[in-house]
Amino acid sequence: MLFRVFHKNTLVPFALLPFLMGLLWAKALLGEPQVAVPFEVPMPLTELLWGYINPQSKLLPLISLFLAFLTVYALNRLNTKYVLLRRQSVLPGVVFLVFVSGYTVVQALNPVWFFTPLFAWALHKLFQGGSKSDASVEVFNMMFLVSVGSLFFARGLYWVPLLWCGMIVVNIMSLRNFLASFIGLVLPYFLTFGAYFYMDRHLELVEVLFENLLSPAPVFTHNGFSKFYNGVMVLLILLGLLATIRQSSSFKILTRRYYRVMLWLVVYAVFLAATPFFSMELIPVLGVSVTIILSNYFEALKPGLWQNLFFYIFIGMTFLAQLFV
């Protein structure tokens, strides 16, 4: 069955992964190119990037697909290094790709795609710090990655408080580590402000930052099928959360802390989704934490009928959403 294929630690699922990526991105790759800029005033690195991008280029969906692949690689490495699932496989990457592919508008080249892989690698640094007595370097790198990502997608800064909470969860919060993380957060903005000050555009930078952080996000108009699709995804996520909570007592201490971070990331993203500051661009960032929760849920299901049925529902709903949303 399909679940077994992607849940094996062999060359076959690794070879099939690029094929699955192309299949899920086929509509975006074959259709008209889109550059989905959520706000009229882009952040500094986004502005720099847009100066080299042709809005009519057929390469645009390939760029977002490449960034999705970087996120897939980061999530698979997260599972491999910190043993979040019972078996090492490409399952987390597959789940991420399926989760973010339901809405073709999400596959457009959006600044959030530059933030998402950096955020996934920031979690690497957070978890790596949890296994060290001195985690100052790891938390500096964690916040530095998030800060650089926010220079593409300013609302990535909304995840900074939760990452500080994550430092408490993995038991590495101290004054030294907090200051190291704060320096990592501020340094990219300090360098950017210096460059803008040199160009006599420093006040413009402040305006751009607040414009991106506080402006209401464009509202996506849902149809009947998209509402049904969202309901199915929400149900699967809830089942995944309940399964993870139920299994938490059987996890090792460090693994239990890592899953707590993932659980809080899901809850926090759902809270952000209820605000007027986020719309469809939230899906890739939400996918980083949802991927581990759903992968654990599919793995925990009894092998056979139910495991394959829920996995097929998950994939099938995504392909149907591409047709009817």
Q: What is the pLDDT of residues 162-190, one digit of tens each?
A: 999 999 999 999 999 999 999 999 999 99
Percent of the chain with pLDDT over 70: 95
Judge whether 47 and 39 are in contact, CB under 8 Å: no
Rounded to 5 degrees, φ, ψ at 25 are: -100, 5
Look up tokens 């949890």; give the residue: 130
Q: What's the confidence (pLDDT) of residue 37?
A: 52
d(CA 147, CA 134): 22
Q: What's the confidence (pLDDT) of residue 54?
A: 72
Q: What is the pLDDT of residues 10-55, one digit of tens each?
A: 666 777 788 888 888 888 888 766 655 555 678 999 888 887 877 6
Q: Which residue has the higher pLDDT, 50 or 295?
A: 295
Q: What's the confidence (pLDDT) of residue 6?
A: 74
What is the average pLDDT across 199-228?
87
Judge whether 105 and 131 are in contact, CB under 8 Å: no
Question: 40: buried, middle or exposed (CB in 10 Å: 19+, 13-18, 0-12)?
Answer: exposed
The 3-state DSSP class for residue 122 equals helix
What the block records as the tokens of 277 is 């500051």
Q: What is the pLDDT of residues 247-285, one digit of tens each?
A: 988 888 899 999 999 999 999 998 998 888 888 889 999
d(CA 89, CA 81): 12
Judge whether 283 and 101 are in contact, CB under 8 Å: no
Question: 208: buried, middle or exposed (CB in 10 Å: 19+, 13-18, 0-12)?
Answer: buried
pLDDT at 297 over 70: yes
d(CA 38, CA 110): 8
Percent of the chain with pLDDT over 90: 54
CB-CB neighbours of 203 under 10 Å: 10
What is the average pLDDT across 5-12?
68
What is the average pLDDT across 149-165?
96
What is the average pLDDT across 134-154?
96
Q: What is the pLDDT of residues 110-120, one digit of tens each?
A: 899 999 999 99
Radius of gyration of the CA atoms of the chain, in A: 20
Question: Any bridge partners for residue 35, and if so which?
Answer: 109
pLDDT at 235 over 90: yes
What the block records as the tokens of 59 is 């390469």
Look up tokens 């933030």; give the residue: 115
**Chain centroid to CA 26: how far?**
21
CB-CB neighbours of 23 under 10 Å: 14
Of the CA atoms within 13 Å of residue 60, those in its CB half-sphere come to 26
Q: What's the confidence (pLDDT) of residue 55?
A: 66
d(CA 197, CA 244): 49
- Tally of helices (H runs) and strands (E runs) in the chain: 15, 0
d(CA 151, CA 65): 20
pLDDT classification of 89: cutoffs 50, 70, 90: confident
If you average pLDDT over every residue of the chain, what do you get?
88
Q: What is the pLDDT of residues 237-246, one digit of tens each?
A: 999 999 999 9
Closest C-alpha to 47, from 198, 209, 281, 215? 209
Among left, alpha and beta (phi > 0; psi -120 to 50; other), residue 169 is alpha
Judge whether 229 and 321 are in contact, CB under 8 Å: yes
